[in-house]
Amino acid sequence: MTLVDKILELKKKKNAIILAHYYVNEDIQKIADFVGDSFYLSKIALNTDARIIVFAGVKFMGESAKLLNYDKKVLLVNNEALCPMAEMASINKIKQLRKEYDDLKVVCYINSTLELKKESDVCVTSSNALKIISSLNSKNIYFIPDQNLGRYVKENIKDKNIILNDGYCPIHNRLSIDNLLKLKAKYPKATVLAHPECQKEILVNSDVVGSTAYLIEAVKTIKNDEFIVLTEEGILYELKKRYPNYRFYEPDYRMLCGDMKKNTLVELYDTLLEEKNEVIINSLDRIKALKPLEEMLKYAK
């Protein structure tokens, strides 16, 4: 029996489902019940009947799944897979800004720790940030933790005072304009797809900007068969699966998230077998951190 067969058997026996982010290793994406971005997976987590949810991603994703499914057992494939950006904001700064602006709304990218969610008014993802922030009835918005997504939002919503924080995703932020210009020179006919966690100069030189799910869908609507892909390389598995005859080019600098790659089949098997790496959240924290997530789901309908 192969390791994959053992995982599938165990999954059935334990009434578990496997949720995987587009950035994890492709051998996990192949056997996951659902693969998607943070927003999609949080909605799946909300509607499942399974007893156990096994999350292949990073810690904040497992926390979101637990917040939305408090009575279910949520296990992280690897509880050392963390997102460095998720904690790049200061609670003191939030408190200080709340004193300065009466109407302040703290908008928290879903890629954030439980502690930051507890201090926020509404969560957003890269798919719904523009829609949700436009609908808020406050002028002053503090966007945490990602400055690049925050700047993208600020440039697209002119009638609000969007205050930026200095957090960033090391994987997307490190991509330089030189990397992109070299690629464009090499593949002049290719359409450039970029994630909004990239720096501004990358985004203004790209053709399509959006979340992983948005970029994957966008390929279907574009009359081209060549694409430069500027996000974590795990997305290539889904792109090549859906569009086998198209060509996808990546920068020389490998966009690889070491934390996402900590999710392996061996870890997945052990986690499921021992039901370890359970996400535990106390009920008080749950009440506070669930509020912005529920707000997001309400606005995003």
Q: Which is nearer to ligand SF4, 17 or 171 (CB)?
A: 171
**Given candidates 52, 54, 77, 83, which one binds ligand SF4 under the rule CB under 6 A?**
83
List the beta strands (DSSP E) in 195-244. Answer: 208-209, 226-230
For 254, other C-beta atoms within 10 Å of its C-beta total: 9
Q: Which is nearer to ligand SF4, 138 or 264 (CB)?
A: 264
Q: Which is nearer to ligand SF4, 82 or 218 (CB)?
A: 82
Shortest distance, position 54 Cβ to ligand SF4, whole Å: 17
For the segment 210-269, give every residue that binds ligand SF4 (CB under 6 A). 232, 257, 259-260
**If binding is defined by CB under 6 A, does position 198 make contact with ligand SF4?**
no
Of 6-14, 129-137, 168-176, 179-187, the window that binds ligand SF4 (rule: CB under 6 A) is: 168-176
Q: Are strands 191-194 and 52-56 parallel, antiparallel or unpaired?
A: unpaired
Q: Which is nearer to ligand SF4, 232 or 238 (CB)?
A: 232
**Cα 7 to Cα 161: distance, rounded to the nearest angstrom:** 49
**Given candidates 58, 194, 216, 272, which one binds ligand SF4 under the rule CB under 6 A?**
58
**Cα 64 to Cα 38: distance, rounded to the nearest angstrom:** 9
Stretch 110-129: interaction string toward ligand SF4, x if CB under 6 A: -x------------------
For 138, other C-beta atoms within 10 Å of its C-beta total: 16
Q: Which is nearer to ligand SF4, 85 or 107 (CB)?
A: 85
Handedness of CA 262, 232, 21, 296 (dihedral sign): positive
Tell me the two tokens of residue 156: 């697209």
Tell me the two tokens of residue 64: 């979101």
